[in-house]
Amino acid sequence: METERIVVEAEKEAAALIQQREQETTPTENPITCLPRSPVKSKTLTKQIRILLTPVSATCGEHNKHLPQKRLLEQFSSCEDSFGKEPKAKKICGDYSSPETGAISHGVSEVVFNTDSQRCGSVVEAVSSDLETDGDSESDRNDEEVSTQLSAYERKRLKNITENAKFFASLKLFETAASLRNMTARVQPPKIQRIKLSKAKTETACRRSMRLQKVDPLSIPLPEAQAQPEPSPRLPPGPLQMIPTDQEEGNDVTEGFLNMWAKISQVKPKVIETPTCNLESYQAHLCKMVLREDSVAKVVRNRIYSMAIHPSESRTLVAAGDKWGQIGLWDLDSGLEDGVHTFVPHSQAVSCMYFSLSNPAHLLSVSHDGTLRRGDVTRAVFDEVYRSEEDNLSSFDFLATDASTLIVGKWNGEVAVVDQRTPGASAELSAELNLKMTRTVHTNPLIRHYFVAAGAGNVDIYDVRHLKASGSKAVVSLAGHTKSVASAYFSPVTGNRVLTTCADDTLRIFETTCISSSAPVLTTIRHNNCTGRWLTRFRAIWDPKRDDCFVVGSMSRPRQIEAFHVTGDLVHPFLSEDYLGSVCSINAWHPTRYILAGGNSSGRLHVFKE
């Protein structure tokens, strides 16, 4: 398109010059410049593409006028194809008069392509077809005539163009571009078919601590872990000899321990009276109770489920029952080596244990194996008081102050009335309660025929005199529990309150002054009771010396045993940074002294004493 525009402009200029020359009689100098003309060697233009526009006569007509331009465009198109793209052109014009023809030429137009002359091959010369030429001589003559018509400025400009063309030709840009294209051409690699290997199934290993892996950071060999005992078969009926597991019959240490137990049991315990000291004095006594190094000992092998403290005023004797039927007795005044004695009167967990109210020489215990036994230290035997057909006993309590009759709870929601004076191991009465299960039973300390039973989600008070085998009706129901209840106990002095421990993280105190009517809730205490599967469930118990304070295990850190008032206020936390580092789920009070024992899930006892 640029070439066509140059040709059209040259055509217009030539027509204007022809009209001007016809009006003049003699030729004149080139009007474009008045500088002297100097010939330009034609050989300097051999590396340029020159397009020579020849004179056109006035009589050529419109038809012949465009013939030279047509040939020019055809030749220019062929040259353009040889380059592969449209070149850029520069126009140099010079008007002159031809003395041979007497006609005015269009002018000289040279299209100079900034390309390498070697790639171009030859110079395209376009001449007008309406003029007669006689070979190379005519072409040289025309070149000389053209050069004589150029000014000094135009000759210098042509020289600069020629030198630029030579410089660009020396750079060899086209060869370099072609080589770069060849270098950057990507070679498609051959497709390699990959073989998919099936992933090996690896079992995910559970992370285990160094203790479980029996690896010690200090390179000290760890002792072999003791295997958990499997549930032993049910023990045969009848009495069992009171022989410690780690000692033989007739051992002097065992005989001395049994004699001591029998001796302190002959002294009658004090009668519990209504406390006269106020809360401040009571709190001062609790602050004096400390845990010493010699008051911590492992009494049984496994998790503690029940505890009891002998009511002696002279010695401290603590009993604990574990998960697999062991009962450990620890005399704190005899030292650790000779003070712990372990017996196995049961084959499953010892869930409840008491020293007899009338004769502390008797230790009664009930187990999940369905037996209720009485340890008689005077005869050194464990008598079988009651035996159930199924392994479903959960708890018991004394119905009479002389401990002659008992109320025994079962896991299936039943209770049994047992009389120790009756020979044999059968119950006097079995009755069904309105409970799915019976976790604990506890009698009123003043009105003994009333007892409270805690089950899956219900807490009811029953009258023993109205129990029926087919179904018994509760006297009062203690409502408000949303989950299972672990325990329910009457207050020890008057029985006017009932303390419950529920899995909904709540401790509740009910008013039971008038049992025949409803029992309203006096106090609700938020308390973390989620012990999990590895800890024995919490059971909040009253202090036997008072009717307004109780203790319960705690999940708080540092580890402690918490004492609360019925108003919900924390009275005192029992803790020791040096000797208490575990959760004491089960606790027991001394009936008259300021002694508190707590048991954990490893069979260890912690005794706080004033």
pLDDT-based confidence at residue 221 (cuts at 50, 70, 90)? low
What is the rounded distance in angstroms from the CA atom of residue 562 to the CA atom of residue 560? 6
The model's pTM is 0.65
Mean pLDDT calculated for residue range 496-522: 94
DSSP-derived secondary structure letter, 205: P
Tokens of 334: 């005899």
Amino acid 384: pLDDT: 96
The least confident of 6-20, 218-232, 244-258, 534-548 is 218-232
Per the structure, the complete domain to which residue 10 belongs is given by 2-173
CB atoms within 10 A of CB 391: 15
Q: Does residue 119 belong to any structural domain of this protein? A: yes
Of 448, 492, 268, 423, the closest CA to residue 361 belongs to 268
Amino acid 85: pLDDT: 43
**Structure confidence by residue, pLDDT tens digits, 477-503:** 999 999 999 999 999 999 999 999 999
* Total domains, the chain: 1
* Residue 36 vs residue 514, higher pLDDT: 514
Mean pLDDT calculated for residue range 196-207: 65
The least confident of 274-288, 337-351, 551-565 is 274-288
Q: Does residue 370 belong to any structural domain of this protein? A: no
Q: Does residue 178 belong to any structural domain of this protein? A: no
pLDDT at residue 78 tops 70: no
Q: Does residue 16 belong to any structural domain of this protein? A: yes
**Structure confidence by residue, pLDDT tens digits, 535-588:** 999 999 999 999 999 999 999 999 999 999 999 999 999 999 999 999 999 999
pLDDT-based confidence at residue 524 (cuts at 50, 70, 90)? very high
Q: Does residue 416 belong to any structural domain of this protein? A: no
Q: Does residue 147 belong to any structural domain of this protein? A: yes
pLDDT at residue 194 tops 50: yes
Mean pLDDT calculated for residue range 205-227: 66
CB < 8 Å & 24+ apart, contacts of 329-336? 329/257, 329/261, 329/299, 330/297, 330/299, 330/605, 331/257, 331/260, 332/294, 332/295, 332/607, 334/257, 334/260, 335/294, 336/294, 336/297
pLDDT-based confidence at residue 72 (cuts at 50, 70, 90)? very low
The least confident of 61-65, 276-280, 366-370 is 61-65
Amino acid 316: pLDDT: 96
pLDDT at residue 170 tops 60: yes
pLDDT at residue 259 tops 80: yes
pLDDT-based confidence at residue 174 (cuts at 50, 70, 90)? confident
Tokens of 154: 């135009």
pLDDT-based confidence at residue 44 (cuts at 50, 70, 90)? very low
Residue where the block lists tokens 């319960």: 552
Q: Does residue 477 belong to any structural domain of this protein? A: no
Q: What is the DSSP string of 312-376?
A: -SSS-EEEEEETTS-EEEEEGGG-HHHHEEEE---SS-EEEEEE-SS-TTEEEEEETTSEEEEEE
Mean pLDDT calculated for residue range 1-18: 65
Q: What is the mean pLDDT of the chain?
A: 79
Q: Does residue 430 belong to any structural domain of this protein? A: no
Q: Burial letters for 255-293: b for 16+ Cβ neighbours within 10 Å, e otherwise?
A: eebbebbbebbeeebeeeeebeeeeeebeeebeebebee
